[in-house]
Structure 1
Amino acid sequence: MSTLTVWKFPEADSAQEALETLEDLQKQQLITVHDGAVVSWPEGAKKPKTRQLSNMTGIGALGGAFWGMLFGLIFFIPLFGLAIGAAAGALGGALSDAGIDDSFIDQVKQKVTPGTSALFLLTSDVVVDKVVPAVEGLKGELIHTNLSDAQEHKLREAFHEE
């Protein structure tokens, strides 16, 4: 089963650093990153910069339309190449199926602000006892996951979140 997680970081370049750590862990076969996107919002910028992890896309990847729709909803970034109407409705349904609703969108809007960054990931095959120690020092805050409550509690506990 794939897990969608969203992590917020206190600096505009921290999400990219976290991604580099995860890429190293993937090379060691400790996690599989199917897809993702980095959001970086430098201090003073009117809107964040977004980048899909296109080099990691493959089977199970969410695709550019998913990320475009998601970031358009969250940050009001124009949706390039996205057909209006049925396609938007279908993607809206896909977002809801992944647990991405108005509450999620509001939460990300409140937390990802100028001077911060975020990492959106679709992962599987995580070797938790190896991955958690490797990412503990990154100071990421888990904003969202589609894990079960028990799994999410364990993950938050590992990062000492309340």
Structure 2
Amino acid sequence: MNTLTVWAFPGPEDAALALGELRELVEDGQVSVTDAALVAWPRGRRTPATRELGAISAPGQMWGGFWGMLLGLVFLTPLAGPAFGAAAGAVAGTLEDFGVADDFVKRIRDHVTPGTSAIFVLTGRASADEVAVRLAGPEVVMLRSELSPEQAEHLRKALADG
């Protein structure tokens, strides 16, 4: 089972600081990260800055298209207007097939806003639990979505075809 976890932090630089903790877990062999992305949203900017992180200590495992699709739907769709919104809505409907529910996307939008930052991490369930122990804090919000093996394979095939 793949777990998509989003760690939302209260400041625009906080996720970058927490990335050191995640990197330490990976380098010590305590967790295995399939792929990750960093989002920083300084106040006054219309959209956040995003950066794909791969598997933290190695290239990601074919999820780059996923980050582009997910982060675009989360952060660009609300700003792009009705025409793009309708097309993105159709794509978002297909995200359900991959285990990413509309309410999960909405919760991300509610927590990752101007003045905040986030780390998006794709791991196995056990690694997600271990990361939770290390990154948890009083002002840190964790959002989690489970992808079944079938959903993950469906997503990999869709991204490979695109």
Partner letter of residue 127 of structure 2?
V
> In the aligned structure 2, how far is the partner of 1:50 from the partner of 1:131?
21
Secondary structure at the counterpart of residue 108 of structure 2: helix
The equivalent residue for 1:126 is 127
Shift of 1:48: 0.4
Q: Which runs of 5+ in 1 are unaligned?
A: 79-88, 149-162
Q: Which runs of 5+ in 2 are unaligned?
A: 80-89, 149-162
The equivalent residue for 1:57 is 59
Instruction: Please show how residues 1-162 of structure 1 align to structure 2 within 5 Å.
Output: 1-54=1-54, 56-59=58-61, 61-63=62-64, 65-76=65-76, 93=94, 95-124=95-124, 125-126=126-127, 128=129, 131-137=131-137, 139-146=139-146
Bigger shift: 130-139 or 31-40? 130-139
> In the aligned structure 2, how far is the partner of 1:67 from the partner of 1:121?
10
Partner letter of residue 63 of structure 2?
L
* TM-score (normalizing by structure 1): 0.69
Task: Render the CA deviation track for 1:50-82: whole Å, top value 9, x for unaligned.
Answer: 1111354344x412x21111111111179xxxx
Conservation of the 8 A alpha-carbon contact between 2:3 and 2:147: yes
The equivalent residue for 1:81 is none
Q: Please, what is the CA RMSD of the aligned residues?
A: 3.0
Secondary structure at the counterpart of residue 127 of structure 2: coil
- Count the aligned residue pairs: 135
Partner letter of residue 67 of structure 1?
W
> In the aligned structure 1, how far is the partner of 2:144 from the partner of 2:132?
17
Identity %: 40
Shift of 1:90: 8.1
* TM-score (normalizing by structure 2): 0.69
> In the aligned structure 2, how far is the partner of 1:37 from the partner of 1:138?
22
> In the aligned structure 2, how far is the partner of 1:36 from the partner of 1:122?
6
